[in-house]
Amino acid sequence: MNITREKVVSTLIKDKRVPQLETASAFASTNIALCKYWGKRDIELNLPMTSSLSVSMGELGASTKISLSGTEEIWLNGEAVSTNTLFYQRLIEFFDLFRPTADTKFKIETDTNIPVAAGLASSACGFAATVKALDKLFAWEQSDSHLSILARLGSGSACRSIYDGFVLWNAGIAKDGMDSYAEDLEYVWPELRVGILLVDSKQKSISSRDAMQATVETCPYYKLWPETVNKAIKVVDEALEQRDFWALGTTAEANSLAMHALMLATTPPIIYSQGGTLELMQKVWRLRAEGLPVFFTQDAGPNLKLLFLQKDEEKLKEQFAQMRVVAPFAKVKESTHV
């Protein structure tokens, strides 16, 4: 018997289905996977084939406000979302998991400072912010690990956006997914920088959800992916502990390229890269060959994220004038280093 999302929600929140506030708000950072999540062992519960490891993006993310309302409304960046869009339907299905009665209606207002559905994990921060706001609205007082599970039901990578900094999403083995949640790795690296290079901010032609399922079902090389990711996570975890930037960068870049290679070998092929993406990759490789330590990672979209250290920030700004720089640990004081 398959375990449903409704069963998981009931197990966690039990009888806490009466809103305790009229409105509640929360913010969640988007996250960038350094060791990728690609492929599900359970589509209903968004359970991954492998663990994954990410870094949050500080001030970049989503703010969500949820209010009790006489009518169901969803607003995104100040504009009403049409009821016939996938965005609306997907979010309403998620809220149905928590709705105390069929007559309970919500006004959901989300504002993001990143492009939506462009490979920058907008759904991750969106669902994480939503779950954090629901936790306040209903006074669930759930632990971060439980909030991570609830966010995962909306979007797999959302479980990592419950936290800041470096985060590990444990794949788990349980059928109900209660052991598949994210945890804070507690490593702090204030000098680390992430540079966002936008190639195309328009909505991608195929969603991550559909793309990864097609990869699992048709790519003949997918069977090699779990071992590839598990090895990468071990290397990155050690690199974070030792502040070994070269090991972090080479492993993250190789893991990203491996994921896209799987998609290229999918039937039909899935190619998120555009001409501008490849030009940027080649420029990164050239700069690195010239002695500038910079690496890239690419998620399910044409845009790149560069990994580099604070000491090289000005040099890279000269090379990539439109790059948006993020300091994931900008709010962390020197005294908290580990």
| Omega prior to 293 cis, within 30 of 0 | no
Domain 5-184 falls under CATH 3.30.230.10:
yes
Per-residue model confidence as pLDDT tens digits over 24-70: 999 999 999 999 999 999 999 999 999 999 999 999 999 999 999 99
Provide the H-helix boundaries in 139-244: 144-154, 208-218, 225-242
Options 3.30.70.890, 3.50.50.60, 1.20.140.10, 3.40.640.10; CATH for 192-336 is: 3.30.70.890
Would the pLDDT of 120 be above 60? no
Model confidence, pTM? 0.94
Distance CA 184, CA 164 (A): 7
Burial classification of residue 174, based on how many CB atoms lie within 10 Å of its CB (0-12 exposed, 13-18 middle, 19 or more buried): exposed
How does pLDDT run across 105-114, given as a tens digit for each residue?
999 999 998 8
Q: Is 37 exposed, middle or buried (0-12, 13-18, 19+ CB in 10 A)?
A: buried
* Equal fold, 5-184 vs 192-336: no
Q: Domain residues of the chain, as ranges? A: 5-184, 192-336
| pLDDT per position as a tens digit, 199-225 | 998 888 898 999 999 999 999 999 999
Tell me the C-alpha distance between 70 and 267, whole Å.
46
Distance of CA 302 to the CA centre of its chain: 16
Q: Which of 259, 277, 131 is nearest to 204 (CA)?
A: 277
As to burial, measured by CB atoms within 10 angstroms (0-12 exposed, 13-18 middle, 19+ buried), residue 205 is: exposed
CA angle (261, 114, 141) in 5-degree steps:
100
Report residue 122's pLDDT band, with 50, 70 and 90 as the boundaries.
confident
